Structure 1
């Protein structure tokens, strides 16, 4: 008996287009869920220095006598930049100093009169001998006039006192009445009081003069400080180490008014920052400490790459500026710090970064999946559609 075996061939059904489409959609959803995209806030900024550009102004006006720097020159703190004519300032300060010396000498004379002592002129005898001579003569004349008047009254007092003593003896013997004795006594007392009154007036007038002189001295000292300040400001010095820029006036003999700008100095040893303006619509996405990608317009990004920075400042409120079209624009001011440590190995060296360079900023706010951006309009549409007014 012969057995025959038949071979059966089983064939699986070929997947249709719908299956491929479903697998593709599922794969895309998985990829979109795990693939993240950086969420950025973009802005335009400018390189600045932390200490800001120093504006050299003329405090009190004057004529430019000497200009000792030129635009682009490196200067150091305390270096003399320019000199203004100082003759008038010197004359003004000398005038006040002479007035103070005259007042001080007058005060010495008045204090001597009030204390009934000889005046001690001190160093003024050498420095201002002509003023001392005038006050010495005034002291002598005033004192002689007082002494002359007192001398006459003293004679009158002596006569009145002698008359009283005579009447006192006659009263004891009964030759004059008590009324005559009291009249003589009153005349002697009045003469003595007049002498004392003259001395008191002499001293009181001296004390009043001292108070008036002291008040004038205080006023003149304040004026001297003002004149000395004007004199000091005729020498313009650099407040920082930096580079001279924007030299406004270079003509010797040119007249500068009070507050006029002579030049600007850009600090060289100050920390470099990037300052930018962020739209109020994006301010909710950024916060201090976020990393920032910086692209300098002066260096081709495709060749030199970018720099890394950190967001260090956000203005507490919006600021307002007038746009070129005349419209007002609001923005938040932000600052980004940069350092060599963060950008070690960069093709752009820190020394090549100059104040005033324009910069494009990308603030790295967070990361979102592709699926989030795909679903965002759908979720937004449904959230509005399901609400009821």
Structure 2
């Protein structure tokens, strides 16, 4: 079978004119060309995807913070606000009085304690004088030079001391008078005893002489018996006088003991009261120190030089609870830094040292460029925020000179929002396409 010749091909005609045979058309070369172009495109795109590294980034919200934490302004004891001397946002210096606590109650308590101390101190001086047996009280010079109330207390203690001294002197005088009376009585008894003794000696001598005459029957025995009775009577009277003398001596000793006991009793009672007074003075001393310390803390001062922030009390006469945060002071020399919240799902994609781009959404986006920075810190664990939000804390540091690019008249302040894009590690385009498929396959084959 022969192949069709040129003359056998269909001929074209136009308005009866012969235009010659129709040209031949083959699709095979065109299909081959299409496959070639598709294969080249696939190979080219695949090669590009497998060899070209792409930079990804994660978006982390953040804000401007200070490198040094704000210093809290607190008061240990609390109380009633007496005066507010600053306003929110005002610059303050370290030690400047910010709030003054009403100290009327503290001063009243301190005045009471001081009065009690003066009273007990004067009493102690009196007791020391009574213990040592002094005739006058040596009050401390600080008490003698006190106010009218202190001098009145001194006068009262002086009168009490003089009264006690006069009472003891009166008791001594009475006892000494009794001693004198007993001494006179004793002297009379001694004289009576001596007289009885002399009388007994004479009577004994006479008795001996008459006894010899009676024995020789030269003297009647009836007249001798009265003499014998008188001799025995004198012996008894001498014994009675000796007993009376002994009783008088005992009585005198007892009175002398009572005389000594006056001073001993005064010393003992004074020493006993001194122990109680010293204990009360020690307690009052501690109370006074506490009140004076509280009085020094009625002026709440700025803990650092900086800007007063978040003042929370505005009412004079309002009540402050102990340890309540009244305000905070942002230190003046504190450097600003960017704090970001990194989602936990993205923590494996970033690391310290990764570059970052920062956009301050508070500024005009048309006139404010993106700034460059670097991730300098990532917290080792997550932090829980409001609404059960969990995140890692990161700090971004601006590059040198980047802050000047935000423009004149613009400055960063704490709390300003920032949108930060932290660059992740470089990956090929193919890995971006393949990884989701791999993850899906991995989860699929692990399902039970």
TM score, norm. by length of structure 2: 0.64
Deviation at 1:357, TM superposition (A): 0.6
Q: CA deviation at 1:232?
A: 3.7
Q: In structure 2, do the counterparts of structure 1 residues 222 and 160 end up closer, same or farther at CA, with 3 Å as the change threshold?
A: same
Over 3 Å counting, the alpha-carbon distance change for 1:348 and 1:105 in structure 2 is farther
Shift in Å, 1:336: 1.7
User: Which residue in the other structure is 1:46 paired with?
Assistant: 63
1:245-256 residue pairs with structure 2 within 5 A?
A: 245=309, 254-256=316-318
Contact 2:79 2:102 in 1 (8 A): no
Query: Which SS does the other structure have where 2:395 is aligned?
Result: strand
How far 1:263 sits from its partner (Å)? 5.8
Residues 190-339 of structure 1 aligned to structure 2 (within 5 Å): 190-191=254-255, 193-245=257-309, 254-259=316-321, 265-283=329-347, 292-300=356-364, 303-312=368-377, 314=379, 316=381, 318-319=383-384, 321=386, 323=387, 329-332=388-391, 334-336=393-395, 338=397
Aligned pair in 2 of structure 1 residues 377, 245: CA closer, same or farther (>3 Å)?
closer
Q: Which deviates more, 173-182 or 76-85? A: 173-182
Between the aligned partners of 2:447 and 2:318, the Cα distance in structure 1 is: 71
Aligned partners of 1:37 and 1:367 also within 8 Å? yes
Report 1:154-169 matches (<5 A).
Answer: none
Native 8 Å contact 2:382 2:393 kept in 1 = no
Are the structure 2 counterparts of residues 370 and 121 from structure 1 closer, same or farther at C-alpha, using a change threshold of 3 Å?
Answer: same
Contact 1:60 1:233 in 2 (8 A): no
Partner Cα distance (1:185, 1:316) in 2: 99
Change (3 A) 1:338 1:158: farther
Once the two structures are TM-superposed, the CA of residue 69 in structure 1 deviates from its matched residue by 3.9
Q: Is structure 2 residue 438 aligned with structure 1 residue 382?
A: no
Please say if residues 275 and 333 of structure 1, whose CA atoms lie closer than 8 Å, have aligned partners that are also in contact.
no
Quick check: which has more Rg, 1 or 2?
2
Residue 48 of structure 2 corresponds to 31
- Cα distance change, pair 106–79 in 1 and its aligned pair in 2 (3 A): same
Q: Distance in 1 between matches of 2:55 and 2:182?
A: 116
- Counterpart Cα distance in 2 of 1:379 and 1:204: 99
SS of corresponding position for 1:298: coil
Could you give the per-residue CA deviations for residues 158-179 of structure 1, whole angstroms, max 9, x where no partner exists? 7779999999998xx9955998
**Inter-CA distance 39–91: structure 2 relative to 1 (3 Å threshold):** same
CA contact (8 A) 2:81 2:100 kept: no
Task: Tell me which residue corresponds to 1:126.
Answer: 145
Alignment size in residue pairs: 366
Question: CA shift at 1:353, angstroms?
Answer: 0.9
99, 110, 115: which one pairs with 1:98?
Answer: 115
Q: 1:367 to 1:210 in 2, by over 3 A?
A: farther
Contact 1:167/1:176 (<8 A) preserved: no
Say if 1:383 and 1:339 are closer, same or farther in 2 by CA, change over 3 A.
closer
Q: Residue 320 of structure 2 aligns to a residue in which SS?
A: coil
CA RMSD, 1 decimal: 4.5
**Measured at CA, do residues 219 and 351 of structure 1 come closer, stay the same or move farther in structure 2, by a change above 3 Å?**
farther
Deviates more, 1:175-184 or 1:282-291: 175-184
Partner Cα distance (2:50, 2:249) in 1: 125
Mark the runs of 5 or more structure 2 residues left unpaired by the alignment.
1-28, 198-234
1:295/1:307 contact within 8 Å kept: no
- Which structure has more helix as a fraction of its residues? 2
Aligned to 1:360: 419
Q: Secondary structure at the match of 1:362?
A: strand
Residue segments in structure 1 that go unaligned for 5+ positions in a row? 1-12, 324-328
CA contact (8 A) 1:78 1:237 kept: yes
